[in-house]
C-alpha cells in the first residue's frame, strides 16, 4: 500500500481539510447510522403500543452507558496512548497496549455482569422504575448485563481501530451492528414476541457482530497492530498512562448516570408520558450530536499524532479547522431537526400526551446540542494530548454541575426546570472548556517544540 493511501499519511502530512474528510466523514456517517441503531429498539417497541415497555427501555439507557463507559475507559485511554506511541515510532509497544485492552475488556464485562446479577432489584429501583414498569425494566437490564461484555469489548475495540486513523473501518463496524439490529429487533420483538428482552438481546448480538469485525481488522489488516492478540501483560507505568485518560470516561459516565437517574426520578413524578417524551427527544437530538461527535472523535488520532511528534503548527491548524466544522454542523443539523421535529416525533409514539411534551423537551435539548459539540471537542483535545487534569475537570463538571442545577431549577420552575436543566449545565460546561483550552493553548504557544509528551 502506497503512503498516499495509508492512514498514517492522513495523520502525518496530508492537507488538513483532506485529513479531516478522511478521518471524520466516515465517523460522522457511522455515528449517524449509529443513531438509527439507537432508535431501532424504541421504534419496534413503540409498535407494541405499550408505554410501560417504551418507558422501561428509556429507564434502562444508563446500563448501556455504564457498559459503554467501561469500554471507553480502556479504548480511549489505550487508543490515544497507541496513537502517541505510533507518532514516536513505537508500534511494537502499541501492540502490547492493544492486547491488554482487548483482554481487560472481556474480564471487566464479565465482572460487571456478576456484580449486577447479584444486585438487580436495587439497580432496577435505582433506575426509577415504578410498579407499572418494574418487571419490564428488570428484564431489560438483566439481559443487557448478561451480555454486557460484548458492549464493553465492542466500544474498546472501536477506539483501537480509530487509534491509527482507520475511520472507514470504524464506520464499517457500526454498519455491521446496525444491520444486525435491523434483522434481530423485528425478529425478537415482533415475531418471537420477546418484547424488551428481545430488544436487549438484539443489542448484544449486534455488538458481538461488530466486535468480531474489529478483531479481524486489527489482527489481520491493521497497519501497526497486527498480531496484538498474543500480548496481555503491560507495565504499571503503561496502565497508568491508559487509565489517567480513560478514567475520565468512567467519571463522565458515572455522572451521566446520576444525571439520568435524577432526570428519570423527577420526570416520573409528572407521569410515564413525560419519561417516554424524554426518551423520544433524547433519541432525536442524537442526530446533530452524533454528527458533531463523529467529527471530533475522528480527529482525536490527528491531534494525538501531531502532539506526540511535536508538529505544533499542524496541531493548531487541525484544532482551528475542527472548531469551524463543529460550529457549522451544529447550526445546520440542529436547525433541520427543529424544522421537522413534529413529523419525526410521530415515528415513535401516537400518544398525544407523549407527542406534546416530547416536542417541548426536544426544543430544550436541541439548544443544548448547539453547545454539546464544542464541549466534546475540548474534551477530545485534552484526551488526545494526554492532559489528564483538564480531561477530568471537563468530565466531572459536565456531570457534577447537573445535580445542583436540576435540584434548584426544579424547585423554582417545576417541570420546566427539569426540562431545561440539561441545557443550562451544557452551556456552563462549554464555557469552562473555553477557559481550560485557552490555558492549554497558552502552554502550547510558550513551548511549541518542547511541550512534555506523556509517552516514555
pLDDT of the residue at 277: 80
pLDDT of the residue at 445: 78
Q: Do the Cβ atoms of 41 and 202 come closer than 8 Å?
A: yes
Hey, what's the cell of 453?
509528551
pLDDT tens by residue, 430-443: 999 999 999 998 88
Q: Do the Cβ atoms of 430 and 376 come closer than 8 Å?
A: no
Total domains, the chain: 1
Q: What is the mean pLDDT of residues 114-129?
A: 84
| Chain centroid, CA 353 distance in Å | 30
Specify if 13 maps to a domain. no
**Given a cut of 50, is residue 452 above it in pLDDT?**
no
Specify if 198 maps to a domain. yes
pLDDT band at 428 (very low <50, low <70, confident <90, very high): very high
Q: Do the Cβ atoms of 411 and 417 come closer than 8 Å?
A: yes
Q: What is the mean pLDDT of the chain?
A: 82
**Given a cut of 90, is residue 77 above it in pLDDT?**
no
pLDDT band at 60 (very low <50, low <70, confident <90, very high): confident
Specify if 452 maps to a domain. no
The range of the structural domain enclosing residue 382 comes to 3-7+19-446
pLDDT of the residue at 129: 74
pLDDT of the residue at 427: 92
Q: Do the Cβ atoms of 204 and 144 come closer than 8 Å?
A: yes
Burial classification of residue 78, based on how many CB atoms lie within 10 Å of its CB (0-12 exposed, 13-18 middle, 19 or more buried): buried
The pTM of this model reads: 0.74
pLDDT of the residue at 348: 66
Hey, what's the cell of 38?
439507537
Rounded to a whole number, what is the distance in angstroms from the first to the last CA of the chain? 30
> By three-state DSSP, how is residue 198 classified?
helix
Specify if 454 maps to a domain. no
In whole angstroms, what is the distance from residue 212 CA to residue 152 CA?
A: 13
pLDDT of the residue at 107: 92
pLDDT of the residue at 349: 67
Specify if 273 maps to a domain. yes
Hey, what's the cell of 257?
448516570
Q: Do the Cβ atoms of 380 and 76 come closer than 8 Å?
A: no
Specify if 14 maps to a domain. no
Report the percentage of the chain scoring pLDDT > 90.
15
Specify if 152 maps to a domain. yes
Specify if 249 maps to a domain. yes
Amino acid at each position: 500500500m502506497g503512503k498516499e493511501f495509508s492512514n498514517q499519511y492522513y495523520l502525518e502530512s496530508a492537507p488538513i481539510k483532506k485529513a479531516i474528510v478522511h478521518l471524520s466523514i466516515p465517523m460522522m456517517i457511522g455515528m449517524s447510522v449509529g443513531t438509527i441503531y439507537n432508535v431501532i429498539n424504541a421504534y419496534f417497541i413503540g409498535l407494541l403500543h405499550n408505554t410501560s415497555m417504551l418507558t422501561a427501555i428509556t429507564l434502562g439507557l444508563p446500563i448501556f452507558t455504564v457498559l459503554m463507559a467501561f469500554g471507553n475507559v480502556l479504548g480511549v485511554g489505550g487508543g490515544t496512548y497507541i496513537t502517541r506511541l505510533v507518532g514516536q515510532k513505537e508500534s511494537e509497544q502499541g501492540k502490547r497496549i492493544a492486547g491488554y485492552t482487548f483482554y481487560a475488556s472481556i474480564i471487566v464485562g464479565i465482572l460487571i455482569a456478576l456484580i449486577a446479577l447479584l444486585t438487580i432489584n436495587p439497580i432496577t429501583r435505582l433506575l426509577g422504575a415504578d410498579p407499572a414498569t418494574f418487571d419490564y425494566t428488570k428484564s431489560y437490564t438483566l439481559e443487557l448485563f448478561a451480555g454486557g461484555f460484548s458492549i464493553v469489548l465492542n466500544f474498546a475495540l472501536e477506539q483501537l481501530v480509530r487509534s491509527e486513523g482507520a475511520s472507514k473501518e470504524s464506520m464499517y463496524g457500526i454498519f455491521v451492528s446496525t444491520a444486525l439490529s435491523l434483522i434481530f429487533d423485528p425478529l425478537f420483538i415482533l415475531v418471537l414476541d420477546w418484547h424488551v428482552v428481545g430488544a436487549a438481546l438484539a443489542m448484544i448480538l449486534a455488538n458481538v457482530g461488530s466486535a468480531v469485525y474489529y478483531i479481524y481488522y486489527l489482527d489481520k489488516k491493521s497497519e501497526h497492530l497486527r498480531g496484538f492478540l498474543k500480548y496481555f501483560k503491560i507495565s504499571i507505568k503503561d496502565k497508568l498512562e491508559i487509565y489517567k485518560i480513560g478514567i475520565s470516561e468512567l467519571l463522565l459516565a458515572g455522572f451521566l448516570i446520576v444525571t439520568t437517574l435524577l432526570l428519570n426520578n423527577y420526570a416520573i413524578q409528572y407521569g410515564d408520558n413525560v419519561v417516554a417524551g424524554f426518551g423520544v427527544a433524547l433519541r432525536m437530538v442524537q442526530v446533530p450530536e452524533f454528527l458533531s461527535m463523529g467529527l471530533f472523535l475522528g480527529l482525536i488520532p490527528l491531534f494525538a499524532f501531531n502532539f506526540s511528534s511535536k508538529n505544533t503548527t499542524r496541531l493548531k491548524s487541525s484544532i482551528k479547522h475542527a472548531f469551524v466544522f463543529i460550529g457549522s454542523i451544529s447550526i445546520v443539523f440542529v436547525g433541520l431537526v427543529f424544522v421537522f421535529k413534529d413529523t419525526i416525533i410521530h415515528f415513535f409514539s401516537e400518544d398525544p400526551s407523549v407527542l406534546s411534551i416530547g416536542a417541548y423537551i426536544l426544543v430544550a435539548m436541541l439548544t443544548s446540542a448547539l453547545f454539546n459539540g464544542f464541549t466534546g471537542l475540548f474534551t477530545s483535545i485534552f484526551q488526545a494530548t494526554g492532559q489528564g487534569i483538564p480531561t477530568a475537570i471537563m468530565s466531572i463538571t459536565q456531570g457534577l454541575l447537573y445535580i445542583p442545577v436540576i435540584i434548584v431549577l426544579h424547585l423554582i420552575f417545576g417541570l420546566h426546570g427539569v426540562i431545561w436543566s440539561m441545557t443550562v449545565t451544557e452551556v456552563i460546561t462549554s464555557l469552562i472548556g473555553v477557559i481550560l483550552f485557552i490555558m492549554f493553548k497558552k502552554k502550547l504557544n510558550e513551548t511549541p517544540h518542547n511541550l512534555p509528551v506523556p509517552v516514555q
